[in-house]
Amino acid sequence: MYVLSRPALVLLLMMAIGLGFYPLVGDSYYIRLLTKIMVLGLFAMSLDLLIGFTGLISLGHAAFFGVASYAVAWYIVKAGVTSLLLILPTAIGASAACALVIGWLSIRTAGIYFIMITLAFAQMLHAFFKDQKYWGGTDGFNFYDKPQLVFGDTVLLDLSNRLTLYYFTFAILVSAFVFLIVLLRSPFGRAIQGVKVNEGRMRAMGYNIRHLKLISFIIAGSLAGVAGFLEATRTAYVNPELMSWHMSGNVMIMVILGGMGTLYGPLLGALALTLLGDNISSMWDHWLLIMGAFVIAVVMFLPEGIAGLIEKTANRFKRKPPPKEETEP
Amino acid sequence: MDISYYLIQALNGIQYGFLLFLVASGLTLIFGIMGIINLAHGSFFMIGAYLCWWLTSLTGNLFLGILAGIPLAVALGLLIERFGIVHLYTRDHLYQVLFTYGLILIFGEMRSILWGNEVQSVQIPEILSAAIPLTDVQSYPVYRLFISLVCMALAAMLYLVVQRTRLGMTIRAGASNREMVQALGLDIAKLFAIVFALGAALAAFAGMVAAPVQSVFPGMGDEILIVSLVVVVVGGVGSIKGAFLGAMLIGLADTFGAVFLPHGAGTVIYTVMAIVLLWRPQGLFGRT
Amino acid sequence: MSGFILETQNLSRHFGALMAVDDVTLSFERGLVHAVLGPNGAGKTTLINLLSGEILPSSGSIRFKDYDITSLPANEVSHLGIGRSFQKTNIFPNFTCFENCRLAAQSRMKGVFHFFKPALSYKRINELAEKGLEMCGLTKRRDTLAQAMSYGEQRQLEIGMMLATEPELLLLDEPLAGMGAEESLKVIELLRKLAKEHTLILIEHDMDAVFAVADRLAVMVNGRLLETGTVAEVRASKAVQEAYLGSDEEGH
């Protein structure tokens, strides 16, 4: 059962306050970088719903991220539409529809098959967008306009403004987090966590496992779609690599590095991995060598991720005081 | 387009299928016997191709290059098993995925450091450089035929080893029931090392013989890995027979997909996979 | 109401060449306690797995009340009112006892689209869970993690979870397996209590326990049904005596 521990809550509040006020003092480079981190954090959080809470190891999560990005590009490049109210729902809808189809096929299998099949279907979409001239082929699309929320003649939200995009992303990230917390406390949320722990017993107790998994898969895919929408809006650029399996691999690394099954862990994972990449990629051409070694080190020495480390440390502090109190009086 | 054109395509499809089989058979055995999902398996293919290019340019002869490359590939396989994979036997698939993904990054960068990022090509040796004329304008290169024949011989050898030898018996026992191997008192550590090195060597060998017909490029490992995973899914995890049929099916589907659907070729094999999944979720020869 | 609550007709299941359950035709009377006996490998657990929908039969049919449940999956069988407990403890170790039972009770909610209200705010589900805990005698362990309890308590929880789904017919796969004498008595007491309101089908090795609670016995050997009847009838059966003597080396 998911419980947001007190140290995590404190950390999250600090992070939220920090993120909320950073633009007042920070420079534009880091505002952009933080927007990227929040987008990736949302993406990683959506995968955590599958890996950490439902027990579904999807290696094709980038498919939903990429499809939503292409939906944004399609509206702006092909249809000349920039209305946020059209683009965002379509992007999410496209991801959800893909998740429904891919999920329906993949969930018939389990274990290693599921890993390979989700990977293969994401590659299928990758190949599709790469093959089709209409969709920009290998180069994808560059575009200049960004989604806007317009009411009458007034522009309420213009996402081409760096700060607006930053706070819009921040608001979505916070809402998604709250949504997932609520979801995990609901009967549905409890049920998927039961599926992760003991699928057979859940079935014997009368649960339709496939339905539970599929719904979880669609919710996670839709959230990844929201992240994909933000990513395309942020960079004004889409290409097939957005749904490549390296993207899926990277987001999985974020989830594990941060700590799966904690929701806030993947945010930390996105933060750590992006900062790491940002720093070492400019220092050495072969920085992926360090990245590879780093991933292996995480698997070997930090399987519960940064969040696991935090909770362990917090627990140690919590246990230490009592003996002191006993000895002092 | 006449019949000889389709014949050439069919031969190409079969040749591709054989290469896929060499890679996929290792992948499926490593999962079936060791319970390991090894994403770095495609890297062995890529490393094989680069080894072949490097050693051929050193020795001036493809056959010498391949001959020298095989022991290196086996050694690499043993090394990776002993110092890396061995830590994963008791771990969840999730961590196996991440660990072997990390290996891919490392292999990729090592290649970049040792051999650079350029696309390379390997000369087909003189003796095999001829082409068999089929019609006035169409012919089939002897080297491609050579690939098919060598792979066929290897596949037959693999079949004989698995079906007829004591090692093969252990492998089969391990693929169907890992506990049984231990219960029989067989040396599981040795078996795992052999299986992994064998799989690595097969994949690297596929890369070596493929090098002269396809260019040698950095992303070739990823490409073959994904297609091999599709082969394993279609054939059924742990089944050599399934890997063979899956490889042929996917090899032919991919080749003819490019012929009939030039703009959607990339998605054909995945469609085949989806159809197989609908029909038999555990793959053609997978156990339920 | 009387009559048969569950009937099997020529039920068979093979695994490869092994006939785990071989042509079993059995009827279970409503309101009674039925025990299925037999040496190890007689196919008892396979039979339970067939009845609960865990596995599909190779041939034959199963009827529960007015429904043909032969090819229904386990989750649908459960919703018709057949609960089962497992031979190997099959719980959610990192959940509390209450959550184990609550999750079981929650399965009775209609649909899966309950996304927003907290799970703990559904009164009826909570009551069912508490009732399950109370019946199996674990109310005082309500907030203990299941993995922190003794083996015997985990077995009790196993039954509590089953009860939280409000089944009519209970399939119990060796409820006493691995229990000490004192714990066994507790569970036998519980079974007696349950027998008042439910139909029970249980597999058990402990003969004393079986004779203490069962009304009807069915004896299986090598997948086949050897004998059925009341306790006295089966005890007197020559075939049963021979089978048990004959399989002494491998059985119990």
Q: Give me the DSSP letters along B85-102.
A: GGGGTTS-HHHHHHHHHH
Chain C residues with CB inside 8 Å of A187's CB? 106, 109, 114, 117, 119, 122, 125
Q: Do B98 and A289 touch (CB under 8 A)?
A: no
Q: Which of C55, C59, C77, C66 is nearest to C30 (CA)?
A: C66
- CATH number for the domain running over C1-81+167-252: 3.40.50.300
Cβ-nearest to B99 among A108, A124, A299? A299
Spans of chain A below 70 pLDDT: 318-329
Q: Which of C160, C169, C115, B159 is nearest to A188 (CA)?
A: C115
CA distance B17 to B131: 21
Contact C/B (≥3 CB pairs under 8 Å) = no
β-strand partners of C84 = C171
Q: Is residue A236 classed as helix, strand or coil in its secondary structure?
A: coil
Is the Cβ–Cβ distance between C21 and C43 less than 8 Å? yes
CA-nearest residue of chain C to A191?
Answer: C103
- Structural element, H or E, at residue C20: strand C18-29
Q: Is residue A126 classed as helix, strand or coil in its secondary structure?
A: helix
Subunit partners of chain C (3 or more CB pairs within 8 A): A
Q: Do A293 and B237 touch (CB under 8 A)?
A: no
- Name which of A243, A255, A289, A299 to mutate to probe chain B: the one with the most chain B Cβ atoms within 10 A of its Cβ: A299
- Structural element, H or E, at residue C80: helix C74-80
CA distance A282 to C113: 48
CA distance A54 to A46: 11
Residue type (1 letter), C69 = I
Q: How many helices (H) and strands (E) does chain A have?
A: 14, 4
Q: How confident is the model at residue B167 (pLDDT cuts 50, 70, 90)?
A: confident
The structural domains of chain A, ordered by start, are 6-327 (1.10.3470)
pLDDT one-digit tens code per residue, C27-70: 999 999 999 988 888 889 999 999 999 999 999 999 999 899 99
Q: Which of C83, C221, C245, C78 is nearest to C162 (CA)?
A: C83
Beta-carbon neighbour count of residue B221 at 10 Å?
28
pLDDT one-digit tens code per residue, B207-248: 999 999 888 999 999 999 999 999 999 999 888 889 999 999
Q: Which two tokens stand for residue B12?
A: 């190409």
Chain B residues with CB inside 8 Å of A128's CB? 264, 266-267
Cβ-nearest to A123 among B232, B270, B282? B270
Q: Do C79 and A206 touch (CB under 8 A)?
A: yes
- Name which of A53, A100, A105, A123 to mutate to probe chain B: the one with the most chain B Cβ atoms within 10 A of its Cβ: A123
* CA-derived radius of gyration, chain C: 18
B95 contact partners, CB below 8 Å, separation of at least 6: A256, A299, A303, B88
Q: Count of CB contacts below 8 A, A vs C?
A: 90
CA distance A96 to A85: 17
Q: Do A187 and C109 touch (CB under 8 A)?
A: yes
Q: What is the pLDDT of residue C246?
A: 52
How do A154-158 and B139-141 pair as beta strands?
Answer: unpaired
CA distance C14 to C17: 7
Q: How confident is the model at residue C160 (pLDDT cuts 50, 70, 90)?
A: very high
Is the Cβ–Cβ distance between B223 and B133 less than 8 Å? no
Chain A residues with CB inside 8 Å of C84's CB? 204
Domain boundaries of chain B, sorted by first residue = 3-119+127-279
Chain A residues with CB inside 8 Å of C107's CB? 202, 205-207
Subunit partners of chain A (3 or more CB pairs within 8 A): B, C
CA distance A245 to A120: 9
C219 contact partners, CB below 8 Å, separation of at least 6: C36, C37, C38, C225, C226, C227, C228, C234, C237, C240, C243
Q: Mean pLDDT, chain C, as a whole number?
A: 88
Q: What is the pLDDT of residue B187?
A: 75
Residues B93-109: what's their mean pLDDT?
95
* CA-derived radius of gyration, chain B: 19
Q: What is the pLDDT of residue B244?
A: 94
Q: ∠ CA(C20), CA(C24), CA(C28), 5° rounding?
A: 120
Q: Count of CB contacts below 8 A, A vs B?
A: 121
Q: Do B97 and A294 touch (CB under 8 A)?
A: no
Chain B residues with CB inside 8 Å of A299's CB? 91, 95, 98-99, 102
Cβ-nearest to A131 among B104, B237, B263? B263
β-strand partners of A219 = none
CA distance B113 to A289: 10
Cβ-nearest to C90 among A1, A198, A215? A198
Q: Tell me how close the Cα of C163 comes to any Cα of chain A, in angstroms.
A: 10
Beta-carbon neighbour count of residue B60 at 10 Å?
11
CA distances from B179 to B94, B255, C111 (A): 22, 41, 41
- Name which of A121, A134, A243, A295 to mutate to probe chain B: the one with the most chain B Cβ atoms within 10 A of its Cβ: A295
Q: Tell me how close the Cα of A205 comes to any Cα of chain C, in angstroms.
A: 6
CA distances from B112 to A249, B48, B102, B105, B219 (A): 20, 14, 15, 11, 11
Residues B26-36: what's their mean pLDDT?
88
Report which of residues C3 and A301 the model is more confident about.
A301
Q: Of the CATH numbers 1.10.20, 1.10.10, 1.10.3470, 2.60.120, which one belongs to the domain with range B3-119+127-279?
A: 1.10.3470
Residue type (1 letter), A234 = R
Is the Cβ–Cβ distance between A116 and B231 less than 8 Å? no
Chain C residues with CB inside 8 Å of A205's CB? 75, 78, 103-104, 107, 161, 165
What sign does the CA torsion over A275, A280, A285, A290 have? Answer: negative
CA distance B124 to B204: 18
